[in-house]
Amino acid sequence: MIRQTYLEVYLKNIEYNVKNIIEYAKDYSYHIAVVKANCYALGIKAIKSIVKGGANYLAVSSLEEALKVRKLTNLDILVLEPINIKYTDIAFKNNITLTISSLDYLKTIKDRKFKCHIKIDSNMNRLGINNTKELDEVVKIINESNIELEGIYTHIYKASDVNITEEQFRKFEEITKNIDLSKIKIVHIPNSDTLVNYKKRDYVNGHRMGIIMYGFNNKLKLKNTFSVISKVLNIKEVKKGQTVGYDGAYTANKDELIAILPIGYADGITRNNTGRYVYIKGKKYKIVGNICMDMLFILVDKNVKVGDIAYVIKNIEHTNEIARHINTINYEVMCNIGSRVERVYKD
Ligand SMILES: *Cc1c(COP(=O)(O)O)cnc(C)c1O
């Protein structure tokens, strides 16, 4: 490692978390790990630990992601978005399961051979079939084709709201009322939050776990799975009234010590991270001034030395704090971590 900025991924903890989630979800048969976006930016090497933890199906966003994941595992892989119809044969050859998200889409690929799950739109208004009539026609076309219907699913969009979520389950039941769900191998609905906050329905036998695998959940005892680490590159003694960095955005209130870290917005530390903390030797220090593309400034004291390790993102709690500070969600804080940041895998 040449640049002293890296993302540490704790593989044993990912495996531990997945084991615990699956123990909690033992009434389900299909534990689908959503490993899209390179495992929420931690890198697809995490898949080995996710599979060791007991995941028995994988899901990704695109065929491109599925083909990358296919190199690592023989498990089934579901693509959550409709793929370009030109590539259904590649999907079939690689045992990649496709999503049928509308009747029109099915009509364009109904003469091909592949395995699919039907996506139901239960009020999210993103992808999926949202009425019984269309669903009945989709099932009829599939039954008359070479397409294997393996699963059916929907997505919960606001698990924090019981009424909305109950209405989503009700809507799913209504749309699928002419189908014998017990005849479909995999019926999967819950994402991470739904899994831990709602009881299992009899007709559902699968869940899709995502962010919870990385420790984001208060109900189960899970472990931290990653840290973004950098090392103090330089320390500046700044006199009272002097400014720091681009546009002189920070002015020293008194004689101060400013440490420079080699990590910036090109690494995913967006400029609105200014004002939040990083951890050095267990102590919090504030990011000041304008964050540069490759570096940022922190206000420190004389305990901080060049070469000291700085936790730019320390753990779950810190990730959540950062999300609040930059007015987003923990998912985005993770996905922001730039591809330039080297991934270092620890057992
Ligand atoms: C990303 C995604 C998930 C996983 O969501 P989490 O909230 O991370 O558990 C599940 N299902 C679909 C359709 C998704 O897009």
Q: How far is the CA of 209 from the centre of ligand 1 (A)?
A: 7
Question: Is the per-residue pLDDT at 277 higher than 80?
Answer: yes
pLDDT in tens, 1-24: 678 999 999 999 999 999 999 999
Phi, psi dihedral angles at 321 (to 5 degrees): -65, -45
Structure tokens at 222: 């899970």
314 CB under 6 A from ligand 1? Answer: no
Is 33 close to ligand 1, i.e. is its CB under 6 Å away? no
Rounded distance from Cα 322 to ligand 1 centre (Å): 21
Q: What is the pTM of this model?
A: 0.97
Rounded CA gap, 89 and 113, in Å?
A: 7
- DSSP string of 135-198? HHHHHHHHHTSS-EEEEEEE--S-TT-HHHHHHHHHHHHHHTTTS-GGGSSEEE---HHHHHHS
Say if ligand 1 is within 6 A of residue 341 CB.
Answer: no
Q: Which residue's CA is the closest to the ligand 1 atom numbered 6? A: 210
Mean predicted confidence (pLDDT) in 108-136 = 97
The angle formed by the CA atoms of residues 332, 335 and 336, to the nearest 5 degrees, is: 85
Look at residue 232 and tell me whether its pLDDT is greater than 90. Answer: yes
Atom of ligand 1 nearest to the CA of 191: 9
User: Could you give the count of Cα atoms lying within 13 Å of 77 in the half-sphere of its Cβ?
Assistant: 27
Joined together, the tokens standing for residue 121 give 């739109």
Q: Is the CB of 209 under 6 A from ligand 1?
A: yes
Whether 120 and 89 have beta carbons less than 8 Å apart is answered as: no
How far does residue 222's CA lie from ligand 1's centre (Å)? 18
Structure-block tokens of residue 26: 């033992």
Q: For position 139, what pLDDT does the model report?
A: 98
CA torsion 231→237→242→247, rounded to 10°? -20
Percent over 70 (pLDDT), the chain: 100
Report the nearest atom of ligand 1 relative to the CA of 40.
8
Ligand 1 pocket mutation pick from 80, 101, 330 by most atoms within 8 angstroms of CB: 80
pLDDT tens column, 238-249: 999 999 999 999
The count of other CB atoms within 10 Å of the CB of residue 205 is: 20
Measured in angstroms, how far is the CA atom of residue 59 from the centroid of ligand 1? 9
